[in-house]
């Protein structure tokens, strides 16, 4: 493995790619839980430190076939258990977490090694690092992109996703990833729902910036309505239960000596999973099914729902707990509070920095679209970003 000054890349290797294609001018990296033939495939676990992938994941192959140049593998929270990627520095904001679990992918982009990167998203793992580093991210509709060749965390919630330096590159790569042509931009005004935080989860400055987003989009001629998303805390708790339960099933065949060689966060999570009761897991799924039905009904009325990506600013790199809604919670809980919903419902999401934000890093916005409306969502995100810039 080749050392990297930002500790974002774990291995570099030249991989055959198409010499022509829509991505032929772009470079990309791949998270170390997605297979690239002959490259590290450790998922961040010491147990698999010497493991190499035997074949390339279909998702990665589609990008190679599209002409993109592979530049290396990137660091991850071990097994995807986490939202910080603590071994990787944030190139733009070194005092803050880089986010996770696709933090190495975000760092590789912001350090200038590549234009976009492959990540995975089980509860926000491409959107969280994008928010921590001021870049863009995309999680497709569940099932639109194959999970073959992906080391799983929670198979029913895992998505292959992308991070990119900007929305233009993100859309370009995302359309290749999902195998579709660009969607014709909608010329009429968009129907946009903007979340209103009746539960008091958003930090005050983030809520104020979201109010300004709603005002600006209305001033730009879009039909904007404020809508609440009920039960955010309950859904986040349900997400945590489901992740632990499915992960425990996946790791159940490992022997004790092997479990001791997993990442520390993974070991702690798997110990906690032993406390889960079957009825609690089923209750979590019932919450998810009800929430998904509500979200599909809501999104049928709009082109997109806009929310903050994170309810609080990215915490310090050495932080373990943050203040959320008046209480202290673990970093991973705060970071996934708003992102996990789209994993539970399977809807596509695009995240990008808020042009109105004066924070450092700028507050990130996420736009959720209807199931299988990925192309429309990507086009709508570009338009919304442009209109927000124009309305500054």
pLDDT in tens, 6-23: 578 988 888 889 888 999
Residue 5: predicted pLDDT: 47
Residue 1: predicted pLDDT: 37
Q: How far apart are CA 303 and CA 321, in angstroms?
A: 35
Identify the CATH homologous superfamily for domain 191-234+277-390. Amidase signature (AS) domain (3.90.1300.10)
Task: List the domain boundaries for the chain.
Answer: 9-178, 191-234+277-390
**pLDDT (mean) for 230-249:** 95
Residue 392: predicted pLDDT: 77
DSSP assignment string, 332-372: HHHHHTTTHHHHHH---EEEEE-TT--SSSPPEEEEE--TT
Residue 57: predicted pLDDT: 98
Tokens of residue 198, six digits? 């009746």
Residue 292: predicted pLDDT: 95
- The DSSP output letter for 45 is -
Q: How far apart are CA 331 and CA 319, in angstroms?
A: 8
Of the candidates 59, 62, 84, 101, the residue annotated as catalytic is 101
Q: How far apart are CA 2 and CA 13, in angstroms?
A: 10
Q: Is 31 a catalytic residue?
A: yes
Q: How far apart are CA 71 and CA 50, in angstroms?
A: 20
Decide: 53 and 33 in contact? Cβ < 8 Å.
no
Tokens of residue 332, six digits? 């991973």
Residue with tokens 């910080």: 84
- The DSSP output letter for 33 is T
Q: Is 101 a catalytic residue?
A: yes
- Establish whether domains 9-178 and 191-234+277-390 are of one fold: yes
**pLDDT (mean) for 266-284:** 94
Shortest CA distance to 210 belongs to which of 234, 231, 193? 193
Of the candidates 31, 62, 105, 273, the residue annotated as catalytic is 31
- Is residue 45 predicted with pLDDT exceeding 50? yes
**pLDDT (mean) for 88-112:** 97
pLDDT digit string (tens) for 121-179? 999 999 999 999 999 999 999 999 999 999 999 999 999 999 999 999 999 999 999 99
Residue 13: predicted pLDDT: 82
Query: What phi, psi does 165 have (nearest 5°)?
Result: -60, -30
Q: Which residues pair with 74 in a beta bridge?
A: 9, 31
pTM beyond 0.75: the answer is: yes
Residue 4: predicted pLDDT: 59
Reported in sequence order, the residue ranges of 215-363 that DSSP labels E, i.e. its strands, are 223-227, 304-308, 321-324, 327-330, 349-353
CA distances from 205 to 55, 209, 218, 326, 384 (A): 46, 6, 20, 15, 21
Q: How far apart are CA 364 and CA 308, in angstroms?
A: 6
Residue 2: predicted pLDDT: 43
Decide: 312 and 339 in contact? Cβ < 8 Å.
no
Of the candidates 59, 105, 125, 357, the residue annotated as catalytic is 125
Residue 6: predicted pLDDT: 53
- Is residue 185 predicted with pLDDT exceeding 80? no
Identify the CATH homologous superfamily for domain 9-178. Amidase signature (AS) domain (3.90.1300.10)
Q: Is 125 a catalytic residue?
A: yes
Residue 3: predicted pLDDT: 41
Query: What phi, psi does 137 have (nearest 5°)?
Result: -150, 155
* 3 state DSSP class of 99: coil
């Amino acid at each position: 493995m080749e050392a990297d000054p930002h500790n974002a890349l774990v291995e570099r290797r030249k991989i055959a790619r198409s010499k022509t294609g829509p991505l032929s001018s772009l470079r990309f990296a791949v998270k170390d839980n997605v297979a690239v033939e002959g490259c590290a495939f450790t998922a961040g676990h010491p147990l698999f430190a010497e493991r190499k992938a035997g074949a390339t994941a279909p998702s990665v192959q589609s990008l190679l076939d599209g002409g993109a140049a592979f530049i290396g593998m990137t660091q991850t929270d071990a097994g995807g258990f986490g939202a910080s990627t603590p071994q990787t520095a944030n190139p733009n904001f070194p005092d803050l977490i880089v986010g996770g679990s696709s933090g190495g992918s975000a760092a590789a982009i912001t350090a200038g090694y590549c234009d976009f990167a492959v990540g995975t998203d089980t509860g926000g793992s491409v959107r969280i690092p994008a928010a921590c580093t001021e870049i863009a991210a995309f999680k497709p509709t569940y099932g639109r992109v194959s999970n073959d060749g992906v080391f799983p965390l929670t198979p029913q919630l895992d998505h292959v996703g992308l991070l990119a330096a900007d929305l233009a590159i993100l859309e370009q790569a995302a359309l290749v990833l999902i195998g579709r042509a660009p969607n014709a931009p909608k010329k009429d005004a968009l129907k946009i729902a903007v979340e209103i935080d009746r539960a008091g989860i958003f930090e005050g400055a983030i809520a104020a910036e979201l109010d300004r987003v709603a005002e600006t989009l209305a001033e730009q001629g879009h039909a904007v309505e404020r809508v609440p998303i009920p039960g955010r805390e309950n859904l986040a708790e349900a997400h945590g239960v489901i992740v632990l339960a499915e992960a425990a099933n996946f790791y159940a065949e490992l022997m004790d000596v092997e479990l001791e060689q997993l990442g520390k966060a993974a070991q702690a999570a798997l110990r906690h999973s032993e406390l889960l009761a079957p009825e609690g897991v089923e209750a979590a799924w019932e919450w998810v099914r009800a929430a998904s039905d509500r979200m599909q009904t809501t999104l049928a009325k709009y082109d997109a729902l806009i929310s903050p990506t994170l309810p609080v600013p990215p915490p310090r790199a050495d932080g373990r707990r943050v203040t959320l809604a008046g209480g202290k919670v673990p970093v991973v809980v705060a970071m996934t509070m708003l992102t996990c919903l789209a994993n539970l419902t399977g809807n596509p999401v695009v995240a990008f920095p808020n042009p109105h934000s004066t924070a450092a890093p700028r507050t990130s916005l996420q736009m959720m679209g209807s199931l299988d409306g990925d192309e429309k969502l990507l086009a709508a995100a570009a338009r919304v970003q442009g209109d927000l810039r124009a309305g500054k």
